[in-house]
Structure 1
Amino acid sequence: MGKLSTHVLDTAHGRPAAGVAIALYALEGDARKLLAEAATNADGRCDAPLLSGETMQAGRYELVFAAGDYFRAQGVALPDPPFVDRVTIAFGIADPSQNYHVPLVVTPWSYSTYRGS
């Protein structure tokens, strides 16, 4: 079986983003179901996969990262409301036997993602 993992990199400070709150939702039609909550460790990763084994299912998902809260905790002066606050990445898992790594590269003014391995 595959697994779902993530990694958050703070490119404004050039380091992994520790302490970012993350929520994972399954999308079922118009409904969202909370599947997992985690926070990144000192390496900017979660201590365990967000999905693995029998919880790794084909479908549509959202990862929501509390980027604004993270930058405030770093002492960054943000406007109110912040330009980048909650980053939501909507993605699909087509083959649950594969690994899906969904990293977030973020600053207070921008973000990007890609499918990693």
Structure 2
Amino acid sequence: MGKLSTHVLDVTQGKPGVGVKVALFAVRGNEKVLLKNAVTNSDGRCDAPLLQGDELQEGRYELVFGAGDYFAAQGVQLPAPRFVDEVVLAFGIADPAQNYHVPLVVSPWSYSTYRGS
């Protein structure tokens, strides 16, 4: 049975993003349904998979990361409005039997992701 997980890497400091708020939504047509809220731990990861087993279904999802609030809490001088604030990663689950790891690599000026396992 598959699972969905994430982690955050702060590339400005070369360390895990600790204390980043993460929200997971299922996207069903024009509707977004909040499935889970989490906060990253000392390793920049959530303490448990965001979804696993029967919870993980084929479909469209969004992860929303509170990157701007994280950098502000780190004392980073940010412009108003912030260039990178909430980072929304929209992705699909095609095979819920597989593992989907969707990390965020982020700075106040850029971000990227990839599909891991």
TM, length-normalised to structure 2: 0.99
Counterpart-to-counterpart distance in 2, 1:112 and 1:28: 24
Pairing 1:1-117 to 2, within 5 Å after superposition: 1-117=1-117
Aligned mates of 1:110, 1:12 — CA distance in 2: 10
Q: Which runs of 4+ in 1 moved over 3 A?
A: none
Which residues of structure 2 form unaligned runs of 5+?
none
Equivalent-residue separation in structure 2 for 1:69 and 1:76 (angstroms): 10
Secondary structure of the corresponding residue to residue 71 of structure 1: helix
Seq. identity, %: 71
How many residues are treated as equivalent by the alignment?
A: 117
Q: Please identify which structure carries the higher strand content.
A: 1
Aligned residue type for 2:103: P
Structure 2 distance, partners of 1:81, 1:61, is 26
The CA RMSD over aligned residues, in Å, is 0.4
User: For 1:78, what is the secondary structure of its paired residue?
Assistant: coil
Deviation at 1:54, TM superposition (A): 1.3
| Shift of residue 53, structure 1, vs aligned partner | 1.4
**2:108 partner SS:** coil
Whole-Å separation in 2 of the counterparts to 1:75 and 1:46:
23
1:70 aligns to what SS in structure 2? helix
Give the Cα–Cα distance (whole angstroms) in 2 for the partners of residues 51 and 59 of structure 1. 13
Q: Deviations over 1:21-43 (max 9, x none)?
A: 00000000000000000000000
